[in-house]
Amino acid sequence: MPAAPDPALFDKVVNLCKRRGFVFPSAEIYGGFRSTYDYGPVGVLLLRNVKDAWWRSMVQLRHDVVGIDAAILSPPAIWEASGHLTNFTDPLVDCRVCRERFRFDKLEDPEVCPNCGAEHSFTEARRFNLMFKTYAGPVEGAGAEVYLRPETAQGMFVNFKNVLETSRKRPPFGIAQIGKSFRNEITPGNFVFRTREFEQMEMEYFVPPAEADRWYEYWCQTRLQWYVDLGIPADSLRLRAHDADELSHYSTGTSDVEFLFPWGWDELEGIANRTDYDLRQHEEHSGERLEYFDQAAGERYLPYVIEPAAGATRTAMAFLMAAYDEEEVAREGQGQGEPRTVLRFHPRIAPYKVAVLPLSKKPELQEPAIDVLSRLQPHFMCDYDETQAIGRRYRRQDELGTPYCVTIDFDTLTDKAVTVRDRDSMAQDRVPIEGLLEHLQARLDL
Ligand code: ATP
């Protein structure tokens, strides 16, 4: 049976995020700041794991991709050349009845206002530029304008020559970057799915023009597989090719990796053939030659670019949605059934890999528990929790998605062993402290 969207999942995940410290509404003590979020103690780990998993697969495990970290503040010249000053717009309409504003192309019914229900109440659509503008230095005004980057991609294009000259790479090769981007979205929403400040994970892969189609296919498949390998069920993912009228001004082909969110299929990542558009534009506007000279073939050319562009924050949300599960289980130690909420994260994505739990707060258990913790901490992100009944602590770790709990009890004092509890099966094994690290390493397979 094909997977179906589950609208009830949205509130469950948002509530869990607040309750367990994944994501908080920003500036909450001041009443919140619309559609802006802060990542809490567990959310920051989740987000970091998503970014690390991307970097590992896109940079660390490859010989043909290098990373950079470019500035967020950027001069208008970059955005003039890239086409963003003219083209990076969304169609904005106002409802004449309730005065709410909407992004016209995202309306479910273009005739009906989703806020007040009025029909045919929209103004003509006008183009609204999504870039945030600010001023550098103490004098505001012409000449001091700068933009917060709306994508990380241009950082790779403007550094193409620097990287080519210093990294000893030649096409086909890529430049990758993870970082914040800013878009003054008309209608942010759906929790962290669409926000005005978000993080992107983008890679520009420079190829000989004749190889562009092949590499486009390669990156579409490689990027789709990345999500599957990290535990998102294959039937909640799909690759959707854009129709000709959807394509960006620079692209000859784009496919989106889509995830089945609670509201239906929506984009996680776009893979685009950007041709030589960006390098050509920057060449024209900067006056610098950005061609690559292929010595073997004796020819100069502007490489084509295949770009997989993903959102880190949006992807973190997809991992949360995909991992969320509820089940009825026998209460541990007793026969009765009770509901259990568990995040079945892939170990690489899970915020904590291991939780260390002394059965009681008594000093004679605290000491060996801290000893176990300090043996594991250099290897994994660990949580330590000594309050409440052990069953409730297990439930908390289930809701954080921690793959293994290590419990220190009074027997530990004599047998020098601990209980290792598996998140998914809830099976418990007695493991000697001496072999604990290897036991966990073998199972976590990080
Ligand atoms: P949309 O059509 O949804 O506005 P887009 O196609 O313009 O998005 P891209 O420019 O391709 O998005 O950006 C690449 C990725 O960056 C997206 O697939 C998404 O994961 C992420 N992203 C883009 N805009 C936002 C946002 N406002 N909030 C969170 N993530 C975003």
Q: Where are the domains of the chain?
A: 8-88+130-320, 352-444
CA-CA distance, 432 to 415, in Å (whole number)? 8
Distance 47 CA to ligand 1 centre (A): 16
Tell me which residue has its CA closest to atom 16 in ligand 1.
311
Tell me which residue has its CA closest to atom 24 in ligand 1.
194
| 244: amino acid identity, one letter | A
Atom of ligand 1 nearest to the CA of 269: 18
Tell me which residue has its CA closest to atom 28 in ligand 1.
194
Tell me if residue 117 falls in helix, strand or coil: coil
Task: Give me the CATH topology for the region 352-444.
Answer: Rossmann fold (3.40.50)
CA-CA distance, 103 to 188, in Å (whole number)? 10
**Cα dist. 228→51, 258, 318, 324, 391 in Å?**
16, 12, 12, 16, 32
DSSP assignment letter at 122: B
Tell me which residue has its CA closest to atom 10 in ligand 1.
151
Distance 310 CA to ligand 1 centre (A): 7
Say what the pTM is. Answer: 0.94
Q: What is the pLDDT along the chain (446 residues), one digit of tens a residue?
A: 557 889 999 999 999 999 999 999 999 999 988 889 999 999 999 999 999 999 999 999 999 999 999 999 999 999 999 999 999 999 999 999 999 999 999 899 999 999 999 999 999 999 999 999 999 988 877 788 999 999 999 999 999 999 999 999 999 999 999 999 999 999 899 999 999 999 999 999 999 999 999 999 999 999 999 999 999 999 999 999 999 888 877 788 899 999 999 999 999 999 999 999 999 999 999 999 999 999 999 999 999 999 999 999 999 999 999 999 999 987 665 556 789 999 999 999 999 999 999 999 999 999 999 999 999 999 999 999 999 999 999 999 999 999 999 999 999 999 999 999 999 999 999 999 999 999 999 999 88
CA-CA distance, 407 to 384, in Å (whole number)? 10
CATH architecture of 8-88+130-320: 2-Layer Sandwich (3.30)
Q: Judge residue 284's burial from the number of C-beta atoms within 10 Å of its C-beta, 0-12 exposed, 13-18 middle, 19 or more buried.
A: exposed
Distance 388 CA to ligand 1 centre (A): 42
| 266: amino acid identity, one letter | D
Distance 174 CA to ligand 1 centre (A): 21
Q: Which residues contact 44 (CB under 8 A, 6 or more apart)?
A: none
- List, chain by chain if needed, residues with CB within 6 Å of any ligand 1 atom: 151, 183, 185, 194-195, 198, 200, 267-270, 309-311, 313-314
Distance 291 CA to ligand 1 centre (A): 29
Distance 198 CA to ligand 1 centre (A): 9
Mutate to test the pocket of ligand 1, among 36, 152, 194 (most ligand atoms within 8 A of CB): 194
